[in-house]
Chains A and B, each alone.
Chain A
């Protein structure tokens, strides 16, 4: 499982303040903690409160890279903000994200080629988030075809079926799980499949429980990457156990420790 740590995101008020006040310790501490907890990449999002997103992105990337060498997942709706991070990224980055819109894909895949990055691609377009697995699959196929066309390898694509909060779109959970199962048939080698997990529990009263339950179900359907809070120990334990059941690692009594030693 490719774990992408979600915590460096200016959407959170405390983080937004840390970015604004250039509290480098807060950012670096979060970066190191997430990496130690098993994150292979860190999401970096300047958030909606940023007054100068490009400058903030640059500062975040520099601050994080000086304490850890895990990959960065540069998260913005604006291509020029992402590019600001790509220019200085030391290890292979992930762009978060494109969708299935033709123009957006042109821009993002071009960036991906230029900076040799991987790309998260949301299965949505201008008409919004689909509400069936069939439509998700159709958009996923559009994305994979476009990527191949533009010379981006399918194994560098992370298809994101877009998880919706269970309290507002309850029927979507199953659609997403079934979409994940079918995405992997789109190409050989198959694309990666990622979810932004925390969205599933947005606004609910039992967030950690809902997150880890959904994650184990998604793993059973073939999910191989997730944007999550790696500091949620119960979530990580559930993930490790799910991978064990899927025969992704060999059992031993200390299998939780063994996984973390990897």
Chain B
């Protein structure tokens, strides 16, 4: 007698968030009705995506392996964005408006938005747009960025429990989706989703960032939070049913094991972290090395090939 697989059946599912529009993608993320890649138990209608990250200025603090991979294009954000798409086939691009950060020269927001617009015009893929992480500068620049890209259906970030109102209001007005960020804390993740939707924002336009941690630096905590959120969503918790976005490049390339032991080791570190996050339920990964993007995309293609 054969052994029968025990299969879980869930009543709930993950929301589908569309990013981009006709002529700029669009891509869809989310929609799962099963834990990752368990095709016997449910559906994963939209494969996860690995997008590439670009700055709106030269990323002077990036480690050598990344600088080597991108070369001179790091000095020209528009060219850099174009290479991501034309040379490395990125299906989604994440633009970080780092130039406005006070520690990075504090470029006036209008200038930064002009660069962002030029980058957006140079590529035809859906965009994730991030601020610099300084609340005051972000609250000044992101509404202008949002308006400049009105109707492009971008995914804007990052909303936090202490700073979500400005970004939520502006995304609501300009028709963008939003990334809600929580510090490896499922209670805050759920609370922030409620706070954002209480402003009249459609919960089906929210993606969650549960915090990213690199391999060797607390990744398993993030993994467990993601898994818990997923299981809650599957039994019907609508305030945790959002797709998950992870900024793997930003974290993996911070750690010495990735940046100090050669390009191959760094790419492996970023790839291993990415794959673990896919297994935890990530829908959107943002990576920094083009080879990582290629490897992770290959992995996704392979694992999505159903039996």
Residues on A facing B (Cβ under 8 Å) = 249-254, 257-258, 261-262
Q: Report whether B239 and A261 are in contact in the complex, using a CB–CB cutoff of 8 Å.
A: yes
When distances are taken between beta carbons in the complex, the residues of chain B under 8 Å from A258 are: 190, 194, 237, 239
Let me know if B166 is at the binding interface, CB within 8 A.
no
Q: Report whether B228 and A250 are in contact in the complex, using a CB–CB cutoff of 8 Å.
A: yes
Which of A250, A253, A257, A261 is close to B232, meaning CB atoms less than 8 Å apart?
A: A250
11 contacts between A and B (CB under 8 A): A249-B237, A250-B186, A250-B187, A250-B228, A252-B191, A252-B239, A253-B187, A253-B191, A254-B195, A257-B198, A258-B190
Question: Considering the chains assembled together, what is the distance between the CA atoms of A92 and B177 in angstroms?
Answer: 37
Question: Considering the chains assembled together, what is the distance between the CA atoms of A22 and B33 in angstroms?
Answer: 45
Question: Considering the chains assembled together, what is the distance between the CA atoms of A254 and B187 in angstroms?
Answer: 10
Question: Considering the chains assembled together, what is the distance between the CA atoms of A200 and B186 in angstroms?
Answer: 37
Q: Report whether A262 and B236 are in contact in the complex, using a CB–CB cutoff of 8 Å.
A: yes
When distances are taken between beta carbons in the complex, the residues of chain A under 8 Å from B237 are: 249-250, 258, 262
Nearest CB in chain B to that of A254: its residue: B194
Let me know if B240 is at the binding interface, CB within 8 A.
yes
Q: Report whether A250 and B194 are in contact in the complex, using a CB–CB cutoff of 8 Å.
A: no
Let me know if B238 is at the binding interface, CB within 8 A.
yes
Let me know if B188 is at the binding interface, CB within 8 A.
yes
Question: Chain B's nearest CB lies how many Å from the CB of A38?
Answer: 13
Known: A250-B190, A252-B191, A261-B238. 10 other contacts (CB 8 A): A249-B237, A250-B186, A251-B187, A251-B190, A252-B194, A258-B237, A261-B194, A262-B236, A262-B237, A262-B238
Instruction: Give residues 186-215 of B contacting A (CB, 8 Å).
Output: 186-191, 194-195, 197-198
Instruction: Give residues 164-196 of B contacting A (CB, 8 Å).
Output: 186-191, 194-195
Nearest CB in chain B to that of A261: its residue: B238
Q: Report whether B187 and A252 are in contact in the complex, using a CB–CB cutoff of 8 Å.
A: yes
Question: Considering the chains assembled together, what is the distance between the CA atoms of A262 and B186 in angstroms?
Answer: 17
For chain B, the bracket of interface size reads 10 to 19
Question: Chain B's nearest CB lies how many Å from the CB of A109?
Answer: 26
Q: Report whether A249 and B191 are in contact in the complex, using a CB–CB cutoff of 8 Å.
A: no
Q: Report whether A252 and B238 are in contact in the complex, using a CB–CB cutoff of 8 Å.
A: no
When distances are taken between beta carbons in the complex, the residues of chain B under 8 Å from A252 are: 187-191, 194, 239
Question: Chain A's nearest CB lies how many Å from the CB of B105?
Answer: 38
When distances are taken between beta carbons in the complex, the residues of chain A under 8 Å from B194 are: 252, 254, 257-258, 261
Nearest CB in chain A to that of B189: its residue: A252
Question: Considering the chains assembled together, what is the distance between the CA atoms of A95 and B307 in angstroms?
Answer: 44
When distances are taken between beta carbons in the complex, the residues of chain A under 8 Å from B190 are: 250-252, 258
Question: Considering the chains assembled together, what is the distance between the CA atoms of A249 and B12 in angstroms?
Answer: 14
Question: Considering the chains assembled together, what is the distance between the CA atoms of A261 and B237 in angstroms?
Answer: 9
When distances are taken between beta carbons in the complex, the residues of chain A under 8 Å from B186 are: 250
Question: Considering the chains assembled together, what is the distance between the CA atoms of A199 and B197 in angstroms?
Answer: 39
Q: Report whether A250 and B236 are in contact in the complex, using a CB–CB cutoff of 8 Å.
A: no
Nearest CB in chain A to that of B194: its residue: A254
Question: Chain A's nearest CB lies how many Å from the CB of B307?
Answer: 29
Question: Considering the chains assembled together, what is the distance between the CA atoms of A74 and B239 in angstroms?
Answer: 33
When distances are taken between beta carbons in the complex, the residues of chain B under 8 Å from A249 are: 232, 237
Shortest beta-carbon contacts, A-B, top 5 = A252-B190, A252-B191, A254-B194, A252-B187, A258-B239
When distances are taken between beta carbons in the complex, the residues of chain B under 8 Å from A251 are: 187, 190
Question: Considering the chains assembled together, what is the distance between the CA atoms of A52 and B237 in angstroms?
Answer: 44
Most buried by A among B194, B228, B239, B240: B239
When distances are taken between beta carbons in the complex, the residues of chain A under 8 Å from B197 are: 261
Question: Chain B's nearest CB lies how many Å from the CB of A112?
Answer: 22
When distances are taken between beta carbons in the complex, the residues of chain A under 8 Å from B236 are: 262
When distances are taken between beta carbons in the complex, the residues of chain B under 8 Å from A257 are: 194, 198
B 220-253 binary contact with A (CB < 8 Å = 1; else 0): 0000000011001000111110000000000000
When distances are taken between beta carbons in the complex, the residues of chain B under 8 Å from A261 are: 194, 197, 238-239
Instruction: Give residues 71-128 of B contacting A (CB, 8 Å).
Output: none
Question: Considering the chains assembled together, what is the distance between the CA atoms of A254 and B237 in angstroms?
Answer: 13
Question: Chain A's nearest CB lies how many Å from the CB of B13?
Answer: 14
Question: Considering the chains assembled together, what is the distance between the CA atoms of A250 and B225 in angstroms?
Answer: 11
Question: Considering the chains assembled together, what is the distance between the CA atoms of A257 and B228 in angstroms?
Answer: 20
Nearest CB in chain B to that of A253: its residue: B191
